[in-house]
Structure formats: structure tokens, C-alpha cells
Structure 1
Amino acid sequence: MNIHRTFALDSDLTFEVLERPPVGAVRIFGRAGEARELLLLAENQTSAETWLKAHRYPGPVMDEVTTDEVAAADVKGRAA
């Protein structure tokens, strides 16, 4: 069973990032663009491809976490 919840951007709820994905992890989005939805954060490219073969989403977008992205997030975290 999957339960999906959507929250308005102007809600009073607050969220905290507890852990960032490691380098080499792959985000799978249901589609490209501003309204994209994260379907899965796979451990690596092979896991992402295996999941996509099993779930067959039309037009998915894969986005690998890079070293540059992790470094940029670390810099932002120290500056805040």
C-alpha cells in the first residue's frame, strides 16, 4: 500500500532535511519540468534502471547526484 500526501507551499508546516543523497544515487522523476514528482531515490544507476523496467512510467527523468551537487550543498549549509 502506498500513501501519498501533498502539502501546500503556504502551509504552516516545517520540514527539515535530515540527510542528503550520496554521490551516485539516482533520482527518478515521473516527468520533466517544474511540476515533476520524485518517484524514487535509487541507490545507483543499475537500481534505477531495474526499478524503471518493473514500473514502466511513461517519460521518466533520471537525475544522478553528482560530486559538484553535494559540494555545493555543503557550502550552502556552512553559510546559513
Structure 2
Amino acid sequence: MSVMTIYERAPIGAMISFRNSVPRPSDEDADALAAWKKCNGAGWLVRCTPPRSSIIWSTAGAITLLPGEFQMDLDAAIAAREAFPLDSDLSFEIVRRPLAGEVRVLQEYGAHNILLYLAANMADARRWVEDSGHINIRLEEVCVEEICADAVEGRVA
């Protein structure tokens, strides 16, 4: 599916894979393999940035993925995030949606929210927030109604 479909249908906290049509190079060609990995991988959907424009500039909008696991070291997590513009020609797929009972730990970032952590339950989310020391956090539990609405409204891919 396209990046626009992910932007419109995937919930924050979903695991998203991305790929291009280039076959994986051999491990011996380190440069080619590094370039291939830049266009083929997976990550957690942590932010959807809408398109914006003014008289002087405009941005196309993007989705932002965090590869690997959520970390307590937010600086490392920020450095590892990768944004994909809404006009990206890569193919995307929803690998895993957040489950009912999981909790999104969100922080306001400008005009939108960014996912800092996807907790297994509310107790885990509260423990993570306490250990991390973050402020201005919002906890959002994934409810059964959200999952059902995704299915009914055609957002389940």
C-alpha cells in the first residue's frame, strides 16, 4: 500500500514495514546493503505530520517510524526515527496494530502528538512515565471500540 494509505488508515503505535523493489544485495557489498536497508525495513508508527503551507514554504506531510524497540533513552530514539514523505514511492504494509488494552504514551509536539512508548497495559505505562521523568504526557488506552471501528470503517489492511 502507499504511504498515504498508511497516513490515513494506520493507528499510531502500529508496526509498519516498508520496502522498494530492489533485491537485497549480498553482505559483502556493505555500501549497497546499507543503501538497501534505508529503503527496506520496519518501524513503529510514532507520528503522522499533516501537509502544511504558507506564503513562503510548504511541506508535503509525512509519517515517522521508530525502528526497533521503544527505548527509555529518548535522545537515541529521536535520532533513530525516520520520516517518510507522503509522496514516497516505497511500498508500506501494516504488520501489527496496537492491541486492546495496550496504552499509548503520547507527548504533545507542536500541533500534533508523538508516541513515546507503547505499553502493554496502564500499569506499565505509568511505570514508564515515572521512570522516564517526562512531563506533559497523555496516556491513551487502545480500546475494543477503536479496533472494531477500524474494521467497520475499512481501516484494517
1:53 paired to 2:127: no
Q: Between the two structures, name the one with larger relative contact order (CA 8 Å, sep ≥ 6).
A: 1
Greater than 6 Å deviation, 4+ residue runs: none
Contact 2:150/2:156 (<8 A) preserved? no
Give the 3-state SS of the residue equivalent to 1:62 in structure 2: strand
TM-score, length of structure 1 as denominator length? 0.80
Kindly tell me: are residues 33 and 74 of structure 1, through their superposed partners in 2, closer, same or farther at Cα, counting changes over 3 Å?
A: farther
- Structure 2: gaps of 5 or more residues: 1-75
Greater share of strand residues, 1 or 2? 2
Tell me the alpha carbon deviations over residues 29-67 of structure 1, each in whole angstroms, 9 at most, x when there is no partner: 122774211111100000000000111212011110011
Contact 2:103/2:119 (<8 A) preserved? yes
- The aligned runs of 1:37-76 (5 Å cut-off) are 37-76=114-153
Larger radius of gyration: 2
Looking at structure 2, the residues matched to 74 and 40 of structure 1 have their Cα atoms a distance apart, in angstroms, of: 24
- Structure 1: gaps of 5 or more residues: none
Question: Number of paired residues?
Answer: 80
Looking at structure 2, the residues matched to 49 and 27 of structure 1 have their Cα atoms a distance apart, in angstroms, of: 11
Q: Taking every aligned residue pair, what percent have the same amino acid on both sides? A: 36
TM-score, length of structure 2 as denominator length? 0.44
